[in-house]
Structure 1
Amino acid sequence: MSLFLELRKHGKLAAKRNPMYEKNKFGKFWMYFMAVFWAGYLIFFGSTFAFAFDGGATEAYHVLNSGLIFILVLDFLMRFPFQKTPTQEVKPYLLLPIKRNRLIDFLLIRSGLNGFNLIWLFFFVPFAILTITKFYGLTGVLTYCIGIWLLMIFNNYWFLLCRTLMNERIWWIALPILIYGGIAAAMFIPDKSPLFDWSIDLGEGFINGNLLTFIGVLIAIVIMWFINRSLMTGLIYDEINKVEDTKVKHVSEYKFLDRYGEIGEYMRLELKLLLRNKVCKTSLRTVFIVVIAFSCVLSFTEVYDGQGMKNFIMVYNFVIFGILFLSSLMSYEGNYIDGLMSRKESIYALLRAKYILYSIAILIPLILMIPAMATGKLAVLSCIAWAVFVSGCVYFCLFQLAVYNNKTVDLNAKMTNRQNMGTGLQNLIAGAAFGVPLILNVILVSLWGQTVTAWILIVIGGGFILTSRFWLKNVYLRFMKRRYKNMEGFRDSRQRA
């Protein structure tokens, strides 16, 4: 216990002493604000479901308990954009007489006690108070909520296992797909699936405080704990020892870019950065998976047939690539910024190359949404309009961050790298890059309809695309005025060996 408290204290001190601590205060405020917002949102839905399920042939809590598996699946998916694998600077402690397993145990304890595992209680507590107290009193509410919390801890370790494996090999995505696919088949193929009854009995066991039910969940948590401990131990030491650094299977030269001169050279550099480094590859894979999933659900199901959700998915698919990579503009280059600054106007060429490459990348979500356009779920003109608007107006906003970003993002460290939140300006612009287009779309559509809105977006986006040389030059000149301050920040925030 003393080791846990000491390492937790070290973690807090390390965060406060980080040169980016002051810039992260706005990011922390924004995270707290969003946490309060979603807590209120879940409380509202928990109360609404309690009244909606009441009055039927089956008690409301039985109806909800029969769908506990669906809530766990939703919780699993929600963790991808919001929760990272537990990280901690373990390198300094490896030189001390501390067992490696105790260090890993600290990571897992911290992950299990993460506040994210409590967020669903804002849904279940009001639901339980309204539906369970009249039969089982406050004791039933308390034991039920403890059981739900334990399920979320189990889901946390299950997510951690899948996310860690997928970070190493993307093919591990087949593991949750097979598991959840098997569960779906077992639930919907038989006329009367026993899984629904099992889910109801599980919730009933929590409400009654059944000791065997709690022991079963605890055993499942312990099993996932040991699997994660074994996996993380091997991966952390492989990373620290640089085991994979010598394994080069294929070298791509992208010779077709030679014809574009210096711009082509920096486009080649950007492609290698995205496709060879662990952090970039993981982010790229995650975005592809999410965009493909959204596109398939929209194209081949009726889940998101509402006009609001259609617009949300369309905007999300186009904007997410830019938000993920351009909100950290120049932060990856912070690892080798000194070399870039040694050549005249190399930063300007780099910015142009990035803009061209990410504008071309807009074609990827456009192609992925062709089935949705073919089925009539999305209008072709609207998709083209958003592609033009994002590559013009939204990218213009995101490229302004190149002037102010001065924090280096480590390209390879995953398990041993301390994950820091983005600066306040990054969070603000990234949030606006997604939220403002959605609001703008609602306003324009309500005033003039889909077709006129699409043409307005094309005109605005096209204007920024045609003037891209001028505003990129402006970004470059402002960056050069701050170059010494930025270079100092890049150097200070690099991970020390």
Structure 2
Amino acid sequence: MLLLELRKHARLAAKRHPMFEKNKFGKFFMYFMKLFWAGYFIFFGILFGMGLSEDNIVMEPYHIFNKGILIILIIDFLLRFIFQKPPTQEIKQYLLLPIKRNKLLNILLLKSGADGYNAFWLFMVVPFAFITILKYYGITGVITYCFGIYLLMILNNYWYLLCRTLINEKTIFVLIPIIFYSLLGVAEFVLEHRISTFTMNLGEMFIMSKPLAFLGVLVAIALMAWINRVIMVRNLYAELSKLEDTKVKRVSEYKFLERYGEVGEYFRLELKLLFRNKRTKSMFRMGCFLIIMLTAMLFTPSYEGAFGKSFVGIYNFAILGILMLTQIMSFEGNYLDGLMSRKESIYNLLRAKYYFYSFAVIVPFILMIPVIVMGKISLLTAFSYALFTTGFIYFIILQLAVYNNKTTPLNESLIGRQSTGTGFQSIISLLSFGIPMLVINLLRITLGEPASLWVLLIIGIAFTCTSNIWIKNIYVRFMKRRYKNMEGFRDTK
């Protein structure tokens, strides 16, 4: 009953939000994209089912699929950092009511486990199961197999929630998933594919409705949920008591930036925004973690193909900008009135942000040096992807500076309110995530690998060298909408 009541309150809060009427297009577009990706997953499920059935005679198609289920779980884990927000809700006001905090957190975890995102992979698994399993085990085998995969996704959800909570608390905890997946990789190749054999047998036990398989996954889910609950209770008390604000270890003034004038001042403001506020610091840590994970994926045999290399390579450079710059001006909405009091301050702010995230691509480039030395990707590929990111991809994302008009809290996380993006934010975020791979693959198909890399390099250099021109254009368009945007920022503080 409490879960239903909280869900009802959340719907009412969304309808009563000042931005509800202005955000209807964004919601429609998000529903459209969900239907699009559902159809995309169904297509891949059919493709895998028919392709594996025709091309393989040594093993059953579902055995091959189950041997690679760990790869799907890793991809799902990484995608959750991009698409799935932490399962927070506005529980702060409920803490004043005679409701136990532990009960509220239990509902929070239950809500996370019942999230529809956990079932999204079934759009691919269900058609695959009907093609490959139905003829051997009937509809019962299909249902039990899909239910078993769904339980694995719920387990992956709690594993993601645990990692994200710890990473938000301290950056050092990024080593937990890195070490965990590294050990799985070592176990897979050193112990003669024991991990893939285990997942293959587990999938077959799902198909054959073995109670032990379901019981084992359910116990793992319960254990992971309990660990999450313990950590969330500790973090909740810490945030309520504002323990983080009682100590200041050191204050960095970044005085070396003074020589660069007003742009240097806004560069310094960006650094302080990232490293002195809880939410921005958490997002920045998450971006760094994803860069490390994507770089590590290039060392695995699973990404030897052209598609895998291009996917990991381009998002290795772009992921930090996609995470942070899609919120451009939303964090500044907390103090936009002060920024607007100075002439052309927004223009210099946009330039400083662009310079900061352009310099940030040096980090993934350095991390990829061992991959380049090993010959897995070429130096031209790395330069092309880096400049394509600083040029074309950032050109797309920075357009959000004109349309973002919702304030994002700087220091609320666990008990803070969630904010949904505007329609343009949803569109441009999806475009910035989908267009790079579309452009890269179209160029590769039409021009071939070497020529496509040179074209990407030229496009990136062109947009990078003309950045002052299109940033000026963004600034002019922002100033035309400034009163509308400022009204939105004030309404959503």
Both proteins in one fold, TM over 0.5: yes
The Cα offsets for residues 243-281 of structure 1, whole Å up to 9 and x where unpaired, read as: 111222222111111212222111111111112222222
3-state SS of 2:33 partner:
helix
Instruction: After superposing the two structures, state which structure 1 stretch, 8-17 or 422-431, moved more.
Output: 422-431
Question: Which letter maps to 2:18?
Answer: P
Matches of 1:487 and 1:245, distance apart in 2: 29
Counterparts of 1:142 and 1:467 in 2: how far apart (Å)? 55
Pair 1:382–1:123, CA change in 2 (3 A): closer
Cα distance in 2 for partners of 1:4, 1:363 equals 46
Alignment-mate amino acid for residue 347 of structure 1: I
Change (3 A) 1:22 1:374: farther
For residue 293 of structure 1, what is the aligned residue in structure 2? 293
Residue number in structure 1 paired with 2:302: 303
Q: Write the letter of the residue equivalent to 1:203.
A: G
Q: Normalising by structure 2, what TM-score? A: 0.88
How do 1:13-24 residues align onto structure 2 when only pairs under 5 Å count?
13-24=12-23
Report the TM-score, using the length of structure 1 for normalisation.
0.87
Give the secondary-structure state (helix, strand or coil) at the position aligned to 1:303: helix
Total equivalences in the alignment: 491
Bigger mean CA offset, 450-459 vs 132-141: 450-459
**How high is the sequence identity, in percent, across the aligned residues?**
55
Question: Is the CA contact (8 Å cut-off) linking 1:315 and 1:434 kept in structure 2?
Answer: no
Equivalent residue letter for 1:220 = A
User: Which has the larger Rg?
Assistant: 1
Cα distance in 2 for partners of 1:318, 1:455 equals 17
1:331 maps to 330
Counterparts in 2 of 1:462 and 1:88: CA distance versus 1, 3 Å: same
Determine if contact 1:366/1:383 at 8 Å carries over to the other structure: yes
**Could you tell me which residue of structure 2 aligns to residue 6 of structure 1?**
5
Q: CA separation in 1, counterparts of 2:157 and 2:401?
A: 35
Does residue 42 of the first structure (1) align with residue 36 of the second (2)?
no
Separation of aligned partners in 2, 1:328 and 1:159: 22
Map of 1:157 onto structure 2: 158
Distance change in 2, residues 1:346/1:39 (3 Å) = closer
State which drifts further: 181-190 or 485-494.
181-190
2:359 aligned with 1:370: no
Structure 1 residue 53 displacement after superposition: 5.1
1:118 equivalenced with 2:119 (yes/no): yes
Indicate if the aligned counterparts of 1:53 and 1:63 stay in contact, CA closer than 8 A: no
Counterpart in 2 of 1:103? 104
Equivalent pair of 1:382/1:450 in contact (CA under 8 Å): no
Distance in 2 (CA, whole Å) between partners of 1:107 and 1:232 is 10
Cα displacement string for residues 32-89 of structure 1 (whole angstroms, at most 9, x for unaligned residues): 3333333334334434444525874554444544554444344333322222221100
Cα offset for 1:111?
Answer: 0.8
Is the alpha carbon distance of 1:24 and 1:237 closer, same or farther for their aligned partners in structure 2, counting shifts above 3 Å? Answer: farther
Name structure 2 gaps, 5 residues minimum.
Answer: none
Deviation at 1:177, TM superposition (A): 3.2
1:296: how far off?
Answer: 3.9
For structure 1, which segment, 325-334 or 340-349, has the greater mean C-alpha deviation from structure 2 after superposition? 340-349
| Alpha-carbon distance in 1 for matches of 2:485, 2:149 | 47
Q: Which residue of 2 aligns with 1:94?
A: 95
Partner of 1:358: 357
Q: 1:242 to 1:307 in 2, by over 3 A?
A: same
3-state secondary structure, aligned to 2:302: coil
**198-207 or 109-118, which deviates more:** 198-207
Aligned position for 2:247: 247
Aligned to 2:143: 142
CA–CA separation in structure 2 for the residues paired with 1:469 and 1:317: 25
Check 1:191–1:394 CA distance in 2 against 1; reply closer, same or farther (3 A cut): closer
Deviations 1:203-261 (A, max 9, x none): 34433433444333323222222222222122123212211112222221111112122
Q: Please give the per-residue CA displacement for 1:280-320, whole angstroms capped at 9, x wherever unaligned.
A: 2222222223223333433x444333334433334323333
Residues 87 and 309 of structure 1, relative CA distance in 2, 3 Å threshold: same
For residue 454 of structure 1, report the CA deviation from its aligned partner.
5.5
Tell me the amino acid that sits aligned with residue 144 of structure 2.
T
Counterpart amino acid of residue 472 in structure 1: I
Greater displacement, 332-341 / 448-457:
448-457
Q: Is the 8 A contact 1:86 1:108 kept in 2?
A: yes
Separation in 2, partners of 1:208, 1:365:
45
Alignment of 1:73-472 (within 5 A): 73-191=74-192, 193=194, 198-298=198-298, 300-444=299-443, 460-472=459-471
Counterparts of 2:144 and 2:454 in 1: how far apart (Å)? 57
Partner secondary structure for residue 233 of structure 2 = helix
Of 423-432 and 433-442, deviating more is 433-442
Corresponding residue number in structure 2 for 1:476: 475
> Is the 2:155–2:224 Cα contact (8 Å) retained in structure 1?
yes
Match of 1:485 in 2: 484
Q: CA RMSD in A?
A: 3.0
* Contact 1:165-1:172 within 8 A present in 2 as well: yes
